[in-house]
Structure 1
Amino acid sequence: MARPEALAYGGRVIRRQWLDHARAVARFAPVRPAVKAGLRAALAFIVPTVVGTALHLPGALWLAVGGFNTSFVDKGGSYHARFRAMGGTALAAALSAVLGGLAGMHPLLAIPATLLWVTAWSFAGVYGAAANLTGNIAATTFVIALGLPPDSAPAALESGLAVLGGSAWAMLLSLVLWPIRPYRPARKAVAACFDAVADYAEGMSRTVQGAREDAWQALIQEQHGRIREQLELARTTLAATRQGRGERGRGERLLVLLEAADAMFMGLIALGEQLESLGPPVSGPVGDPRAAVAVALLDCANTARDLVRLVEQEGRSRRPQPEWDGRALRDALGDLDARGLLTRLERARLSDIARLLTELRERADVALDTACRLPGPPTQAPPPARALAEETHASLLDPVRAHLTLDSEVLRHALRVGLTTTVAVYVASVFRPNHGYWVTITVLTIMQPYTGPTFLKALQRVLGTVVGGLLAIAVASWLQDPRALMGLVFCTAALCVSLIPLNYGLYTLFATLTFVLLAELGSGDWTLATVRIVNTLIGGALALAGTFFLWQRSEGQRFPAQLADALRADREFFDVLARAWRRGGPPDATALGAARRKLGLATINAETSFQRLLSEPRWRTEAVEPLMTLLAFTRRFAAVCTLLASRRSVPSTPAVGEALARFARAMDASLEDLADAVLHGRQPRPLPAFDVLIGWNVPTPDGPGAALGAEAPLLQAQLERLARQLSVLHTAATRRLEALP
């Protein structure tokens, strides 16, 4: 009797999943189109095409391929980094064109050559995103050359030289004729950090006077991950910009500003955690002191906006003089205390909030002083910049050695792409001889290291190609004038690159229109749109088959490890505090910063893995809430640790020291057990009684909790809060097994 109901439920789940995927295909990213990049890529593509066609050069196609692909690599940054990325891609593409052409002349070599070459370049992802892009371009160039074999070895060499010629034009266009100021990307990235900090401060100002209990949680979920990603992006951009320059002026000042933005972010986290712990608004003749906090936070946001302006414009400007700090709150606190409206714990909390506001103002002053000196002459860098010195580079072969195991996602993906592309080459050569390389290009473009993104990209690629092919058929039916078509191709090439940040499907649509019209223009065959559609469908099917059947590991298998890493990063962050408690001093700043950054990155990785889990076509929709709770309260636990780290000292009496030591040992063991339980799919062990361990509910001659509460009521309240966050994590972990596929 239950079978029809189960089938109906399954049908509803499938319909909802397909609806979610349809929304993902049509979703636009909240960014602007890359108009300048699109126009520059169109010039890099169309000028070699026009010149090659006008001069009847045999390698006109390769001139266009080299120009388009090399311009595609230019992502901004310093001249040194851009030249290295574009030059490396040009050499890799030229070599791929030569070897692909030679292999295409000997069909018996085509299959093994494809397997080795494509797998090797797909494995280049061990060196990062830039190397992965270069590897994809090299593999794509190879399969194009394989599908368009030359008549002789000298002709294959000419193809490689033509690729270099088109690439040289793209580099000239990007680095000389259309230059970008080398520090502009770094300044914009650092300014974006202060802009994100301003948004966070404004959100806190609104939330501190609100009545919604879940407002703080929503704010953390919205802002913390975004700001940490922005900080890491700015760190990477600045490192790439400074590499090889040797100067000590703007670069080091931007490092100081980046560290100041990070410090302001940490200060706001600690402040928010303390504000959330306040009780309901205080009513009476004096009013609620949180109004003073809300005003100070708005002023803090305005100061961060001033920093955005100063960093972006990098010109001589008058230094703003902010007037906010913790004094207004201290005045309100004094009035309330004089009237006897505050308990001892409330007084301690409000005093700590005033301290945090004052420290936040001090960090903002450092940032303002540094921002106003950005355009000045080089000077000795302040101490914070020294902590951000570039890391020493590891051996070139270290990443390769680290990933030479089937447990490596990069190696598994490289083997998967290599084998699937090899099959695509065989299928194209046997069944689709007309422009068969479109099949292999589709495979290389669609396949991603993870199942969810591959499935989404396949949908976008196929739909974009079908619509673009239909548009190409419509255009070819009424417009066949070569000059008009060349102008249209320029516009569509510019559009396809401009729209990549918004939606990959739109890029595919205009890319299909561009290359089909160009191929038809060169061959005179006005039926290639249908060929493009059919070849894309074949390539998409092969890509999905390779993804699902070749060493595929679902995100449900990866996510527990990512979540366990985030919980262990929480444990390491707390361990820095525990070591400071044992020493009886403040936490080590260097160790604290490293642990905080590691935690931020681990949490981002876990959240990204969870999003990929939801995007997989076979994910289970039931019982997702425990996983979301684990992710959310991993950040909440870190926020309380950040608040504890802001304390300048803790009581040092033997009784308090022993209570803190017991608490630290129990917390460390509980976090490790929780991470291990999540990783291995078991129920976590019961939590210890933290109130008994630390003694805040144990009767003593002086009353409950005298060992800690009498000397540090605020510290006791913060530790209680930390124990509650762990309890929520533990409860969610006991229910998480049913949420994993």
Structure 2
Amino acid sequence: MRKIVDALRAGYALPSRPPWTYGLVCGLAIGVPLLIGAMLNAPHEGASVALGAYLVAFGDASGIPYGARSRRLLAMTAFVTAGVGIGALMRPVPWVAVAVIGALAALSARSTWVGLPPVLGMVIAYFGGTSPGAAMLLPLTALGGLVLSAAVLAPWPMRRMRPLREAFATAFETLADLVEGGTGTPLPDARWEPLRRAASVALDDARTAYAYYGYPVAAVDRAPGLVLEALVRVFDETVALRSLRQAAGEAVRSTAWPEELDRALSAQARALRATPLGGGSECAAEAMAAAAGFAEHVESVREQALAGEERLSASAILGQVRRSVERLTVAVRAASALSLESARPAPRLPRFSLPAWPRWEQGLGAHPVRLGAITALAMALTIPIHSHLGKWFVITVLVSLRPTYGDTVDRVTLRIAGTTLGSAAAAVVLVLAPGSYTLALIVFVSASIGFALRGVSYGYWSIFSTPLVMLLSNYAVPLGWEAAEIRVILTMAGGVLALLGARLLWPRGERVRLPLRVADMLDAHAALARALAGQRLDGFDDLVDVAGRAADKVGESLDRLAKEPGGQPPEALRSALTYAGRVRDDTLTVAAVHRVNEAGSARASGLLDAVADRLFGLAHAVRTGERPAAADDLDEALEEVASRVGALARLRRGEVESGRAEQMTPVRREFLFIAAAHPALRTLAVDAVKLSAAVERGVPAGRGRRRPGRVGGAAGGSVS
């Protein structure tokens, strides 16, 4: 009962402002054909046009660019029309309809290109009710889809670049928050991670938006692509600065530099926020001046180190902080100098290239097969009824059965509640004021409110979509209390069947997929360390993205596992996701040091190879169920790095005393790299060990397991 109450409370919450304008457009596209049909004494024809518009609107995806959206809507119109036609043709052969509709339901769950609307159209057409005749059904359905497409796409020629600008503006804002989060006392992970996550998601959204606009924007103006590259550099350097700042705080004796660094970072954040508003150039100039002031202070610390008043390793770390600030400043200036307003391609018809087929939805496991089987069963159970009302039983199964049992419970609860309220409301209104114009008004109001709320509340969508579908699919049948009662009963029966299907057919599939996804995550993070060991920085950001997506898939599996019967996601794997994020941050910091110090170090490469070997070995153990390999040499490799830092510091001090302070000798080059990278390497080793330990606790593999080895650092202490 508590789960039902929680589902109702969440289902009727409004987390964001509904798009009322979009809802009004859909309401007009669906309601006006009914009104015209009533005026021309052709109600069935008007209902067929309105139903086509409804089904295409059901498959619409708002917020994507003009060309991509137009392709999607026109393709959906073709699929819906085909589905309606096939459904009408199968009326005389019900057992063929059982097989075909079940197969198409499975395809709709598997293919992102087909979706659910063609299946709904096929079901509605098969059960019939009323129709204008087979000769007119297909063109009228297609006309409805085209009317909806034209209405939805009408504003795009005037504001076709709006989604792109909005995506980039959000990226600028979230990156400004991230940069600002690096000022002052370092934020704890609990406060830093949401900022990092928001910036990463915003960059992904901006990358997706630009990919949609790849043609024709890229052919006219490369500015958006260059801005995106600059924003990625801002993200990388900000993440690296957090670790470098912590290391500098432990090593540098001077206490004045943090204030100068905060001033520089705050100026960068202001420049990022001002860029979408048109004031980025002025703020970027201020940011450059603030960075120059910080560089002067770092130079004074270097002079103190050369004079023996400060440690050389501290100067090297602070020097790396300065170089990261400079790279951040250059990236912010580049993003501010490139104006998105210059991307103004001339209006043109969208390109209709064929999609890569098939476009499969990943990570669903056996759900498509389950949905197809339960839908076919629902169709078979309706054959003895011989009533057009049987469609509600099948439709409830189609829209309620979800990939997990918990999601199915939530969806069935909201579906039954919405159907009860919507059916009763529609019946009351029609009893008080029957007639074609009343029907058209109810459809218009229900569509306008329902499609506005659909993206933010499934509960409200269920309430308003109920009278909408009932009226459109059975336009000539009087909708009274009896029809409302039957609809509620069939909806409840369909919900029960959906729950049984989710509970009995492959209810625990995520438990099988989770270990494989954990292994993929370990492999992706091991690849980061291996690339750094070989000093392969080309495409490193892509490797970081791959590792982040692999971790996201593990998080999705844990969320789904929690919704399976008896599912209890291991808390250790939640911790593993946190440590995986730290590993990515550590590798970004080491990569930042590599970009300005190409010399590298054999000791550092040895440590990075040891980290990669540990993660690769554990991934193999998780994937095969074998026991992990014997303890590795992470401790030894880290001790070698620490001793190398000390040895190079002594050699470098000798060079300074001999008058070679400004010469870029091999000793100085290696010292600059390894002294700056040592803190990040140390935390990388520690986080890799913690990641391994968390995975071993969360995904047992084999018996007689060893305990993770300990990693010690030059600063003292070993970390288990």
Q: TM-score, normalised by structure 2?
A: 0.83
Which of 120, 123, 126 is equivalent to 1:143? 123
Aligned to 1:353: 321
Distance (whole Å) between structure 1 residues aligned to residue 443 and residue 345 of structure 2? 48
Distance (whole Å) between structure 2 residues aligned to residue 267 and residue 495 of structure 1? 45
Distance (whole Å) between structure 2 residues aligned to residue 705 and residue 672 of structure 1? 34
Aligned to 2:581: 635
Distance (whole Å) between structure 1 residues aligned to residue 139 and residue 74 of structure 2? 14
Alignment-mate amino acid for residue 354 of structure 1? R
Within-5 A mapping of 1:289-300: 289-300=257-268
Structure 2 gaps, min length 5: 347-352, 652-666, 702-720
CA shift in 2, pair 1:377/1:64, >3 Å: closer
* CA deviation map 1:495-550 (0-9, x unaligned): 11111221211211221243446678743231132222222212222222223333
Aligned to 1:720: 682
1:140 Cα offset (Å):
0.8
Aligned to 2:25: 40
Query: 3-state DSSP class of the match of 1:523?
Result: coil
Within-5 A mapping of 1:66-215: 66-72=52-58, 73-123=60-110, 125=111, 128=112, 131=113, 134-148=114-128, 155-176=133-154, 181-205=159-183, 208-209=184-185, 215=187
Aligned to 2:697: 735
1:541 aligns with 2:496: yes
What is the count of residue pairs matched by the alignment? Answer: 669
Which stretch has the larger CA shift, 473-482 or 444-453? 473-482
Give the percent of matched residue pairs that are identical in Structure 1 and Structure 2: 23
Distance (whole Å) between structure 1 residues aligned to residue 412 and residue 645 of structure 2? 71
Which stretch has the larger CA shift, 495-504 or 523-532? 523-532
Distance (whole Å) between structure 2 residues aligned to residue 701 and residue 271 of structure 1? 21
Query: 3-state DSSP class of the match of 1:729?
Result: helix
CA shift in 2, pair 1:135/1:157, >3 Å: farther
Aligned to 2:273: 305
1:218 aligns with 2:190: yes
Distance (whole Å) between structure 1 residues aligned to residue 98 and residue 141 of structure 2? 23
Which of 598, 607, 615 is equivalent to 1:663? 607
* CA deviation map 1:625-651 (0-9, x unaligned): 311110011111011100111123558
C-alpha contact (below 8 Å) 1:101/1:149 kept by paired residues: no
C-alpha contact (below 8 Å) 2:641/2:678 kept by paired residues: no
Which of 225, 230, 233 is equivalent to 1:260? 230
Distance (whole Å) between structure 1 residues aligned to residue 78 and residue 171 of structure 2? 36
1:529 aligns with 2:500: no
Query: 3-state DSSP class of the match of 1:248?
Result: helix
Distance (whole Å) between structure 2 residues aligned to residue 142 and residue 700 of structure 1? 72
* CA deviation map 1:419-465 (0-9, x unaligned): 21111122233348352111212222123344443343233323322
Query: 3-state DSSP class of the match of 1:104?
Result: coil
Aligned to 1:604: 552
Distance (whole Å) between structure 2 residues aligned to residue 436 and residue 721 of structure 1? 62
* CA deviation map 1:246-268 (0-9, x unaligned): 76224x22111122212211111
1:683 Cα offset (Å):
5.9
Aligned to 2:718: none
1:593 aligns with 2:541: yes
C-alpha contact (below 8 Å) 1:114/1:421 kept by paired residues: yes
1:242 aligns with 2:197: no
Within-5 A mapping of 1:482-631: 483-484=437-438, 486-516=440-470, 522-527=476-481, 528-580=483-535, 587-589=536-538, 591-620=539-568, 624-631=570-577
Aligned to 1:382: none
1:115 Cα offset (Å):
2.9
Structure 1 gaps, min length 5: 1-14, 379-392, 581-586
Distance (whole Å) between structure 2 residues aligned to residue 522 and residue 395 of structure 1? 39
CA shift in 2, pair 1:271/1:177, >3 Å: closer
Aligned to 1:50: 35
CA shift in 2, pair 1:166/1:668, >3 Å: same
Which stretch has the larger CA shift, 32-41 or 541-550? 541-550
C-alpha contact (below 8 Å) 1:100/1:146 kept by paired residues: yes
Query: 3-state DSSP class of the match of 1:32?
Result: coil
C-alpha contact (below 8 Å) 1:78/1:182 kept by paired residues: yes
CA shift in 2, pair 1:706/1:611, >3 Å: farther
Distance (whole Å) between structure 2 residues aligned to residue 122 and residue 362 of structure 1? 46
Query: 3-state DSSP class of the match of 2:339?
Result: helix
C-alpha contact (below 8 Å) 2:529/2:609 kept by paired residues: no
* CA deviation map 1:452-495 (0-9, x unaligned): 43343233323322333343355455454654553343222111
Which of 315, 318, 329 is equivalent to 2:294? 329
Distance (whole Å) between structure 2 residues aligned to residue 294 and residue 200 of structure 1? 13
CA shift in 2, pair 1:158/1:700, >3 Å: closer
Distance (whole Å) between structure 2 residues aligned to residue 300 and residue 432 of structure 1? 69
CA shift in 2, pair 1:457/1:255, >3 Å: farther
Which of 373, 392, 398 is equivalent to 1:419? 373
CA shift in 2, pair 1:686/1:704, >3 Å: farther
Alignment-mate amino acid for residue 550 of structure 2? A
Alignment-mate amino acid for residue 459 of structure 2? G
Over the residues paired in the alignment, what is the CA RMSD in angstroms? Answer: 3.6
Distance (whole Å) between structure 1 residues aligned to residue 630 and residue 277 of structure 2? 52
CA shift in 2, pair 1:288/1:597, >3 Å: same
1:729 Cα offset (Å):
0.8
CA shift in 2, pair 1:53/1:550, >3 Å: farther
Distance (whole Å) between structure 2 residues aligned to residue 409 and residue 715 of structure 1? 38
1:690 aligns with 2:634: yes
C-alpha contact (below 8 Å) 1:310/1:372 kept by paired residues: no
CA shift in 2, pair 1:116/1:397, >3 Å: same
Alignment-mate amino acid for residue 367 of structure 1? A
Within-5 A mapping of 1:640-659: 640-647=586-593, 648=595, 650=597, 652=599, 656-657=601-602, 659=603
CA shift in 2, pair 1:261/1:162, >3 Å: same
Distance (whole Å) between structure 2 residues aligned to residue 504 and residue 480 of structure 1? 29
